[in-house]
């Protein structure tokens, strides 16, 4: 959804919140009584530690007992976390077969399959997890988020509302619902859901940032800026919140403030394509052409396409200045270029 239009098209990046969920009961592993005491100690270490150096230990334990679903799950998840996604998927599939009544490995398999680019497979895993345990909120929310990524916003809304019926005080479900409603261009409903999310979890910087963006998009710019500032008080290094603040200042024609916000986002995350593009547009309007050109080029390298109106504005304001270099004075020194 294009939530905000100001001086051309600015793409909005909304980050997804980490989902909180319920604990699940794991079945006891099979055949533990036959394992030596030393292997059992290694097994305990495998299940307790979550570091890359424990992976060889988990491998050894699993070789000793290939019916141990807990170890298969831990090994698969660790392999996923440390970049060995295909192998992680294989072990998580094994864990699912060894623990057919446990939704957790199915949920983890869904996450790993998403990482691998298999969205249909991931969606099926989340659905299976929920079929085992209906109140497994992590899987329900992940399902709703994935449906939104797949541009199935109405299905996403349905799944997230079902999650909220089960757990009305789930801040994560309300926050994700707010994003889905915004994608459906139902801003009033998105704002209501966003307000519910921040009331339930006031320390969630992303929820404040998203609510701020929705308020700005609805024309309630000052309220939106206030929410965005709350997000940055909670999490000063939240690049998306700084970018959204740049959008808010752009809409209110506070261009120097917008430039500062975009630049701060880029200091945190240099490869933030939308922030490069937003900054380039603002710098054009301020007549700071050389820096604008660099940020346009960088945003294009990162996959952002400028619409004709934006390019025309750049040509009208900057082309002759850059070519002749006679009418160009020093750039505003108050605007420190994020590229150094």
Q: Return the percentage of the chain with pLDDT > 70, whole number.
A: 84
Residue 325 has pLDDT above 60, yes or no: no
Q: Domains along the chain?
A: 40-133 (1.25.40.10), 255-340 (1.25.40)
pLDDT (tens digit, 9 = 90+) per residue, 204-223? 999 999 999 999 999 999 99
* Cα–Cα distance measured from residue 97 to residue 89, given in angstroms and rounded to the nearest whole number: 12
pTM across the whole model: 0.80
The larger pLDDT score, comparing residue 147 to residue 15, is at 147
**Residue 103 neighbours by CB distance under 10 Å:** 24
With contact defined as beta carbons under 8 Å apart, do 85 and 112 qualify? yes
Query: Average pLDDT in the 312-321 region?
Result: 79
Phi, psi of 5 (to 5 degrees): -125, 120
List beta partners, residue 9. 5
Residue 201 has pLDDT above 70, yes or no: yes
Q: Tally the residues of the chain.
A: 340
Strand partners, 90: none
Does the pLDDT of residue 333 top 60, yes or no? no
Mean pLDDT of all residues in 127-139? 97
* Dihedral (Cα; 193, 190, 108, 128), 10-degree rounding: 90
pLDDT in tens, 149-194: 999 999 999 999 999 999 999 999 999 999 999 999 999 999 999 9
């Amino acid at each position: 959804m294009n939530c905000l239009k100001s001086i051309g098209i600015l793409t909005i990046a909304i980050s997804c919140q980490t989902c909180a969920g319920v604990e699940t009961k794991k079945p006891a592993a099979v055949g533990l009584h036959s394992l030596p005491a030393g292997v059992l100690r290694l097994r305990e270490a495998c299940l307790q530690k979550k570091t890359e150096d424990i992976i060889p230990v988990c491998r050894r334990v699993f070789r000793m007992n290939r019916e141990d679903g807990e170890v298969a799950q831990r090994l698969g998840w660790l392999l996923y976390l440390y970049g060995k996604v295909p192998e992680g998927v294989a072990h998580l599939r094994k864990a699912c077969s060894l623990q057919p009544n446990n939704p957790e490995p199915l949920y983890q398999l869904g996450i790993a399959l998403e990482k691998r680019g298999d969205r249909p497979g991931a969606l099926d895993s989340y659905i299976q997890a929920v079929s085992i345990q209906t109140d497994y909120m992590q899987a329900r929310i992940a399902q709703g988020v994935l449906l939104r990524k797949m541009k199935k916003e109405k299905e996403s809304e349905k799944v997230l509302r079902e999650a909220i019926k089960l757990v009305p005080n789930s801040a994560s479900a309300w926050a994700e619902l707010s994003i889905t409603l915004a994608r459906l261009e139902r801003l009033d409903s998105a704002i209501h859901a966003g307000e519910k999310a921040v009331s339930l979890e006031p320390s969630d910087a992303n929820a404040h940032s998203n609510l701020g963006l929705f308020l700005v998009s609805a024309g309630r710019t000052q309220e939106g800026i206030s929410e965005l500032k709350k997000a940055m008080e909670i999490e000063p290094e939240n690049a998306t919140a700084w970018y959204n603040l740049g959008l808010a200042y752009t809409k209110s024609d506070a261009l120097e403030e917008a430039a500062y916000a975009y630049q701060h986002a880029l200091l945190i995350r240099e490869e933030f394509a939308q922030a490069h593009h937003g900054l380039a547009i603002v710098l054009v309007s301020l007549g700071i052409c050389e820096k604008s050109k660099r940020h346009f080029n960088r945003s294009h390298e990162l996959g952002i396409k400028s619409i004709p109106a934006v390019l025309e504005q750049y040509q009208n304001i900057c082309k002759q200045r850059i070519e002749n270099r006679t009418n160009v004075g020093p750039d505003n020194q108050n605007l420190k270029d994020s590229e150094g």
